[in-house]
Amino acid sequence: MTLLSVENLRIEVSASTAAIVEDLSFAVDRGEFLAIVGESGSGKTAAARAVLGLLPPGLRTAGGRIVLDGIDLANVSARQMRTLRGPIVGMVFQEPMVSLNPAISVGAQMAEGLGLHEGLGNRESRRRCLDMLARVQIRDPERTFDAYPHEFSGGMRQRIMLASVMLLKPKLLIADEPTTALDTLTQREVLDLMVGLARDHGTSVMLITHNLGLVSRYAQRALVLRQGKMVETGTTRQILFSPREAYTKRLVEALPRRGATTKARQGGEPLVSVRGLKVGFAGRQRLFRRDNGVSAVNGVDLDIAMGETVAVVGGSGSGKTTLGRAMLRLIPTSGGEIRFRGRDVTATIDRDFRLASQLVFQDPYSSLDPRMRVGEIVAEPLRHVPQLTTTERDRRVDTMLEEVGLAGLAARWPHELSGGQRQRIAIARAIVREPAFVVADEPVSALDMTIQAQVLKLFERLQAQYGFACLFISHDLAAVEQVADRVVVMQGGRIVEQGSRDDVFDRPRHDYTKALLAAAPVLDFAGATAERASG
């Protein structure tokens, strides 16, 4: 039986009548789990928001019919729409850090909906909230009820968000990239909870995502959107394993595959070598004492050979980013030593090391100075190359831009470029001085999936060409599997397992590694039964 049916939906930009979503038709049955797959700009979020009647300003529904639970939304006033949001349709947002109001306690926020839609008294609504918090496996519901959002991690907040939406037992739950901001393990926990809750209440789920691994694990049906138009729809199995359309095939092919390992140069001293590295953050200064500090990296030994790619994986808070920053001497260490080409660079500021090492950041939107043109950004590292004439410098910048596939864009501003193009610029800036050692901190996790594949390929090609060693920090095991020669697994600031990529992926020894691998949303090409939400 159909819960939601959308027919010929068209969403326009109010100012220009350009279509964001065009001629989109789909239906969600009661209790069904539908995934809407698309890259940024595909209109997937706009389509979902149209169902809620919550299009952002500047967009408007320009045609088509949305029928939700037998009600045609075209005939529904804004006031009536409000009574539908909550009990009929609920939404979980992408960014748990900003979707809870920081000034109101968790309990008060959860109870808000109950008071509004069901008119429950304080005691009754408190009891319902506590039950729901326990249901989403929050350890201490009583304390959580009175606590404020900032006291919780992203994963916890997303559970709270989920709990407060599911309290009203909506018939349709719209989840817009609910776990994109979370690490792999937390992602799995939150989604498992979501699916369990939906099954308990008979709720249909509309999951908006760009992650095909998640689609394969949870969804029964999937719908692929591209630039506002539906490309293909069908059962998950059919979409993923026998896609009909070229675009869907490209999406599936863009999933990282295991590549060949580059043979690291054997023998001789390692390029970078770390022994017993410790990084601690001092505790907060109270009136008479100092709080106990946190040690983010606690005794790490690591060798990186020339031209080798070592991947560091782990959940958030495992210390992998801190390790990368410490190895570049960007944050002070509190113990251990770092050697570069056999020289101790731990304490002294070693100019050679600084000039031979580089960093690629996760977020291409904040890593480029908005007031510099692309050419200036890529040219900046060359300031420190002695005796370089202006013509030589310009030539190297042009060559580099060509290498990353952005020839002729030197005069553009960063804000004129897409996320993938920006990340290429960031990579170009890191490589233009031909460094020996590059730390890449989650270099593709902010990008769309087809773009991820391109950037990873580019990175591999550049590495083969320029021969730099790379510390590849990521929580995305699929990307790691594609690029890494060796894998290091970190948990709580320590290395719990390290080995060649094939060893770690095929024969994991440590429990944490096994848990990470099990949680990784990968496509099961062997066709073994993927875990299904229901039915």
Nearer to other proteins, 127 or 384 (CB): 384
Q: Is 434 in the site for other proteins (CB under 8 A)?
A: no
Q: Kindly state the smallest distance separating residue 365's Cβ from other proteins, in Å.
A: 9
Q: Helix, strand, or coil here: 9?
A: strand
CA distance 469 to 477: 19
Nearer to other proteins, 135 or 429 (CB): 429
Can you give 188-221 as a three-state secondary structure string?
HHHHHHHHHHHHHHCCEEEEEECCHHHHHHHCCE
Q: Is 247 in the site for other proteins (CB under 8 A)?
A: no
Residue at 417: amino acid letter: L
List the one residue from 146, 369, 511, 531 that touches other proteins (CB under 8 A).
369
Q: 168: which DSSP letter? A: T
List the one residue from 150, 249, 265, 351 that touches other proteins (CB under 8 A).
351
Look at the chain and count its residues: 535
Q: Is 367 in the site for other proteins (CB under 8 A)?
A: yes
Nearer to other proteins, 361 or 512 (CB): 361
Contact region with other proteins (CB under 8 A), list: 33-41, 147-155, 236-244, 358-366: 358-366
* Site map (CB under 8 A) of other proteins, residues 389-418, x = contact: ------------------------x-x---
Contact region with other proteins (CB under 8 A), list: 98-106, 364-372, 469-477, 489-497: 364-372
Q: Kindly state the smallest distance separating residue 327's Cβ from other proteins, in Å.
A: 12
Q: Is 45 in the site for other proteins (CB under 8 A)?
A: no
Q: Is 427 in the site for other proteins (CB under 8 A)?
A: no
Burial of residue 134 (CB within 10 Å: 0-12, 13-18, 19+) is middle
Q: Helix, strand, or coil here: 164?
A: helix
Q: Helix, strand, or coil here: 533?
A: coil
Residue carrying the six token digits 């995305």? 476
Which bin fits 110, alpha (ψ -120 to 50), beta or left (φ > 0)? Answer: alpha
Nearer to other proteins, 222 or 328 (CB): 328
Q: Is 97 in the site for other proteins (CB under 8 A)?
A: no
CA angle 24, 29, 31 (to 5 degrees): 135
Q: Is 354 in the site for other proteins (CB under 8 A)?
A: yes
Nearer to other proteins, 128 or 412 (CB): 412
User: Which of these, 59, 77, 73, 91, lies nearest to 175 by C-alpha position?
Assistant: 91
Q: Kindly state the smallest distance separating residue 374's Cβ from other proteins, in Å.
A: 11
Maximum Cα–Cα distance across the chain: 77
CA distance 96 to 157: 6
Give me the phi and psi of 517, to 5 degrees please.
-65, -40
Q: Kindly state the smallest distance separating residue 366's Cβ from other proteins, in Å.
A: 5
Q: Kindly state the smallest distance separating residue 43's Cβ from other proteins, in Å.
A: 23
Subset of residues 270 to 329 that bind other proteins, contact rule: CB under 8 A: 328
Q: Is 371 in the site for other proteins (CB under 8 A)?
A: yes
Nearer to other proteins, 74 or 282 (CB): 282
Contact 187, 179 (CB under 8 A): yes
Give the footprint of other proteins on this chain (CB under 8 A): 328, 330, 351, 354-355, 357-359, 361, 363, 366-371, 380-381, 383-384, 413, 415, 426, 429, 433
